[in-house]
Amino acid sequence: MLLLQSSSTRSRRPISVVAVALLSIISRLAHAADDPAAPTIETHEQPVFDAATSAIAQPRDDNIQGGDSYAPDFDYFDRSLLGRQEPQDSRAKELTNNEKRELDIVPGQTVYFVLKRGQKRLTRADKATLDALEARGLDHATEDPSYEAALDGRDTGIGNGDNELGRRQARNRIWISANTCKQPNPPTNGTAALKNHPQLVMFVSTSSQNQKPGPDSINGLATPPSGIIFENGFANFSLQADSDIFIGISAPTLEDGWFGSWHFDLAASTNGPYHSYNGNDPFLFMIDTDSDSALFITYNLSDVGTRDVDKWRQRNPFRMYAFEFDKVTPVTGLERSLCAIQNSNRTTNITDEVSITTKFGGDLPKAQFHLQGLKAGKTYNGFLTVQGGQDVLKLPGNTSVRSGGMVFQQFNFTTKADDTCQVIFDLDFCDSVAYAVPSNPNFRDDNKKLKARYDNLAKDYYANFSRSLAQVACDTAAEAQYSLARTCKDCEKDYKSWLCSVLIPRCEDWEAPGNWLQQRNINAPLSDGSLTFGGNVSKEFNDTRRARLGYNSTRNPGIDPVTPLGPYKEMLPCEDLCFDIVRSCPAKLAFACPNSPAKELTYGKRDPKDRELRCNFPGAVVKLNIRGAAGMLDARLCLAVLTAVLVVASMS
């Protein structure tokens, strides 16, 4: 062919004219592929295969040296016929797959990034290529089980053709995500600063004609023309593409009173979202609070039968943070950004003691958090985060956490207002105890001393019980045992659960609501020196309340040394704990439960609908419930059953 054989300058000139004309015709025929219009964003799948792209050859090595010239992927054309484009804009920062880039940005500025095709390691379809044919939010992409299966190369259960297409689309999908780590300073007006925080905006283009996407350059965008607005400091977007991807991050101008700049990090990945936010669940249960601390646990981290406690203890990626509610903090407006939460925590005096526990039933690992340095009677915004690592971390519920980490849905909790209660946990003997107990200032700064006081008392009672049970023929033949349905092991277990719940009361504030709470120590003065019940000391009231041991003292004399200086309320142990020891233990031990009215002063009843925590039992936790339409969560006293074996429901 003369076109390929010609080598001299003279002989190439007339052929170049023909070549230019030929390219002009081809360009018009392939206009839709080479210069795509802005894709229409629809709620359904929109894979389109252009006929003009079916002849594109297999990908070549993009790392071939040769300057900054632009060379489209029409490899079957002679390179001498291809034109040249202007070099890539010098301000564009090149992204590397699965590596974040950090940058500062000032108001009114747009900064640019590019993820080059060679970085994506994409595999083209056999007969067609996907050229930015689909662009949809990450939330939709990651919630599709068949898509996740295709991403992992698993069988989706659908037809082989559809499954193959799903795998090809998964290989061509790109995730782009970002976190705002720092934002401009708000005005001094606290009310105005709680809302309208200025957010960055992300624009994405796959068109070579728009390498600087932004608010003033919206042609050929894969994103909507308005871009993807960072929501509380977090933005994500996914699309299918096998061309270069151009990204613009734009900063708005600031309203009056605001000043400063933003700092953000951005990442693109072919494996899944680098940054993650879970807005469906806080992944936490609250155990209890006192006036300056709070105790939480996560859901079970493993399935029944899985032995991976050591794995979680060697690498515990969970952290918890808290910031005062209704107060402007550095994280206000950035509640979905992991780097913002981590950076803002340095401005508080709140500490977090993190551990892995297998308590609260099931012998399964859970992350446990003891927040300290809180203020009395304050409401806080709580955040659970997962620190990312090199390996993908799998959590229950088919949740994957990659290098950029994850933030779970924030929630609210409130500390106790009085100093009469103190959270204890991890006792040696009463290992199921984890809640606030009656206490006084002598133990405020010495949790170990308070725990030992309660735990040693329980050990002494249990030792006496064991000596009594030893008088029973527990190991005799079945026909000679005291029960065909219960054994001495059942008796020991149920007695320990009852003893620890009765001897170590669960403490609540004096002003805590709930008619199931028992008033204790009512003759002690309130914090302001006044008497309870408005100072009522009439004979009738004294006879029915102030003179009765059920109201004017602790639950039993053994814990008098830890009696609070003020009045408090007790969440009574569940009555079924008493029923269980009567049913499980030998009759000769003479266990019996009290009758009314003493029963109402010593035991509580479970909520028949299991919605509220109305009595105490081993493994009881407080569920974090959705509070309202705003999507915020609130800590309320609700019965939470993690699994069938997490809490002791009947001890039978």
**Helices 488-503 + 575-584 axis angle, to 10:** 150
C-alpha distances in Å from residue 96, one per residue of 71, 122, 141, 267, 430: 21, 14, 22, 8, 53
Cα separation, 199 vs 232, whole angstroms: 8
Query: Which of these, 176, 185, 283, 277, lies nearest to 231 by C-alpha position?
Result: 277
**Helices 447-469 + 488-503 axis angle, to 10:** 150
Domains of the chain (ranges; CATH) run: 40-60+89-274 (2.60.120.380), 278-414 (2.60.40), 421-620 (no CATH)
**DSSP for 575-639, written as a single string:** HHHHHHHHHHS-GGG---PPPTTHHHHH-B---TTS-S--SB-TT--EEEEE-STT--EEEEEEE
Phi and psi dihedrals of 498, rounded to 5? -65, -45
3-state SS, residue 220:
coil
Query: Which of these, 591, 585, 593, 577, lies nearest to 649 by C-alpha position?
Result: 577
**DSSP for 226-238, written as a single string:** T-EE-BTTEEEEE
328 and 186 Cβ atoms separated by less than 8 Å: yes
Return the pLDDT at 171.
60
Q: Please report which residue ranges of 153-230 form alpha helices under DSSP H.
A: 160-171, 190-193
3-state SS, residue 31:
helix
Query: Which of these, 367, 328, 14, 369, lies nearest to 183 by C-alpha position?
Result: 328
Cα separation, 26 vs 31, whole angstroms: 8
Return the pLDDT at 485.
86
Residues ≥6 apart with Cβ < 8 Å to 602:
550, 555, 572, 573, 594
The pairing of beta strand 110-115 with beta strand 568-571:
unpaired
Q: Please report which residue ranges of 88-137 form alpha helices under DSSP H.
A: 117-120
Stretches in the chain below the pLDDT threshold 70 = 1-91, 119-171, 189-195, 361, 623-652
Phi and psi dihedrals of 526, rounded to 5? -75, 175
Return the pLDDT at 196.
76
C-alpha distances in Å from residue 560, one per residue of 372, 454, 499, 553, 636: 26, 11, 17, 8, 30
3-state SS, residue 515:
coil
Query: Which of these, 508, 447, 479, 463, lies nearest to 637 by C-alpha position?
Result: 508
Cα separation, 292 vs 309, whole angstroms: 30
203 and 213 Cβ atoms separated by less than 8 Å: yes
Return the pLDDT at 563.
87
3-state SS, residue 246:
strand
Cα separation, 150 vs 168, whole angstroms: 8
Cα separation, 229 vs 226, whole angstroms: 8
Cα separation, 148 vs 156, whole angstroms: 9
DSSP annotation of 38 reads P
E strands in 98-219: 101-105, 110-115, 134-136, 173-182, 201-205
C-alpha distances in Å from residue 520, one per residue of 523, 556, 565, 601: 9, 11, 11, 10
Return the pLDDT at 624.
65
Burial group, residue 643, by CB count within 10 angstroms (0-12, 13-18, 19+): middle
Cα separation, 421 vs 590, whole angstroms: 34
- For CA atoms 124, 129, 130, 131, the dihedral sign is positive
Return the pLDDT at 609.
85
322: which 2 tokens? 């808290």
Buried b / exposed e over 304-328, threshold 16 CB at 10 Å, is eeeeebeebeeebbbbbbbbebeeb
Phi and psi dihedrals of 137, rounded to 5? -65, 150
CB atoms within 10 A of CB 549: 10
613 and 647 Cβ atoms separated by less than 8 Å: no
Cα separation, 84 vs 68, whole angstroms: 9
Phi and psi dihedrals of 45, rounded to 5? -65, 145
362: which 2 tokens? 């099931």
Query: Which of these, 458, 440, 447, 437, lies nearest to 570 by C-alpha position?
Result: 437
**Helices 145-152 + 160-171 axis angle, to 10:** 70
- For CA atoms 295, 301, 305, 309, the dihedral sign is negative
Phi and psi dihedrals of 226, rounded to 5? -80, -5
